[in-house]
Amino acid sequence: ETVRLRFHTFYGTEIDPIADKFKDAVKEASDGSLRIQYFRGGELVASDQFADAVSKGTLDIVHGHGGYWSGQVDIGNIEAGLPGAWTSVEEAKAIFESEEVNSLLTEAYEEAGTVFLGKGYGHNYDLLTKEPVTSLEDLKTRKIRATSNVAKVLDYFGIPTVYLPAQELYISMSTGVIDGAIYGGPVEYEQLKLNETAKHYTYLNMLMPGWTETFLANPAKWEKLSDEHKAILEEAIAQFADDIHNWLAEGNENVAEGTFEYATLPEADSAELTVAAQTVWQEEAERSPRNKAFIDALVANAKAQGRLK
């Protein structure tokens, strides 16, 4: 009897080779008794409806990030990555692998009718602009495409943000509807060919990795799997997540010379951003006792690292 699982990621075709490796790994390790039916971003369910779709059994496993379902699952925004929350993959991993945070996630996703399977770690998440940026002050007269958490922090400095779907980024940037975007790292910007319209990449030093990813399963489907199949899946998913992270890291490292002109936000400005981010942290903490506990853990970590007093 072959078990087929509908697996939906939010990535598009860019990680196809990694996805093929993942599908093959599952098939081989299970001698063909477990198969992955893989769907790319937007193919079956819009990414912002993943949590709903996996809880109802439309999908069996989803690979998204907390920002997509933050309106439904309280900790979504926090676990996706708040500005200033962590500065390296090791730090982020330590936080998510801690007993406390792990149990918060398990509990929150169980309440949302899903099974929390594990995490993946993104990479650079910075600002791309048409004109060079040397300070936060520069940004006040520009229109930047940014989403919720980052948008709130920018708003704190009076920097106007707009929301646009990714498919409109290229034209909006080239015609000047927007002056810049915070969407990903060099490799993502190159994928969208944004380097043809905007060359200035500014490290914000706000959050690294700039986002984390989450894998969720449908409880009924997951319970029906044999222990062997569960183990195979968990291992393959962990490898898949690692492969994506490494692909991002290498991609960002190896973007051809001259594709972008890199700059870094002055340290004072980055520090100010982190301070401003505290209002966002507190706003998130107020949403629920569970969020409060998560934020407390982040604050404790930031203090231990010496970033917060």
Partner 1 sequence: MKPVTRYLVLQDGLSDFVGRAISWLSLALIGVLMLEIVARYFLNAPTIWAHEASTMIYGAFCLLAGAYTLRYRGHVRSEVLYGIMGPRGNAFCDTVVFSIGLVVLLVFLKLSIEFAADSWAVREYSNKSIWQPPLYPIKTVIPIAVGLVILQNIAELLRAVLTLFGIAYDDPREGELESEVDPVLLDALKK
Partner 2 sequence: MADLDPLAITAIMFASMLVLMAMGAPLAWALTISGVGSAYMLWGPGGLDLLVSSTFSAMDNFLLVALPLFIFMGLVLQRSGITDDLFGLIHKLMGGVSGGLGVGTVIICALIAAMAGVSGAATVSLGIIALPAMLKRGYDKRLVTGTIMAGGALGFLIPPSVLMIIYAFLSRDSVGKLFAAGLMPGLMLAGIYMVYILIRCRLNPDLGPPTPVDERYSGIEKLKALRHLIAPGLLITAVLGCIIGGVTSPSEASAIGAFGALLIAALHGRLNWDLLRYVMLTTTKLMGMLMWITIAAVFFSKIYVGLGAGMIVGELIEDFDVAPIWVIIAMLATYFLLGMFLDDFAIVFITVPLFVPIVRELGYDTTWFAVLFILSMQSAYLTPPFGYNLFYMRSVAPKEITIVDIYWSAIPFVLLQLFGLALVVAFPQIALWLPSVLFN
d(CA 189, CA 196): 10
- With a CB cutoff of 8 Å and minimum separation 6, the contacts of 233 are 5, 26, 34, 61, 117, 225
278 to 307: interface string for partner 1, x by CB under 8 A? ------------------------------
Run of H or E including 262: strand 261-264
Interface residue with partner 1 among 99, 163, 227, 304 (CB under 8 A) is 163
Point out which residues bind partner 2 (CB under 8 A). 2, 4, 6, 37, 39, 42-46, 49, 52-53, 56-58, 164-165, 167-168, 170-172, 174-177, 196-197, 218
Look at residue 51 and give its three-state secondary structure. Answer: helix
Through-space distance between the first and last CA atoms of the chain, rounded to whole angstroms: 58
Contact between 214 and partner 1 per CB under 8 A: no
| β-strands 61-64, 3-9 pairing | parallel
- Phi then psi for residue 233, to 5 deg, are -65, -45
Interface residue with partner 1 among 29, 35, 72, 230 (CB under 8 A) is 72
Whether the CB-CB separation of 81 and 210 falls below 8 Å is answered with yes
The structure tokens 């299970």 sit at 30
4 binds, among partner 1, partner 2, none (CB under 5 to 8 A by kind): partner 2
53 versus 128: smaller Cβ distance to partner 2: 53
- Phi then psi for residue 25, to 5 deg, are -60, -45
6 to 45: interface string for partner 1, x by CB under 8 A? ----------------------------------------
CB of 114 to partner 2, least distance (A): 14
Q: Which amino acid is it at 242?
A: D
CB of 266 to partner 1, least distance (A): 25
Residues that bind partner 1 (CB under 8 A): 48, 52, 67-68, 70-73, 76-77, 143, 147-148, 151-152, 155, 160-163
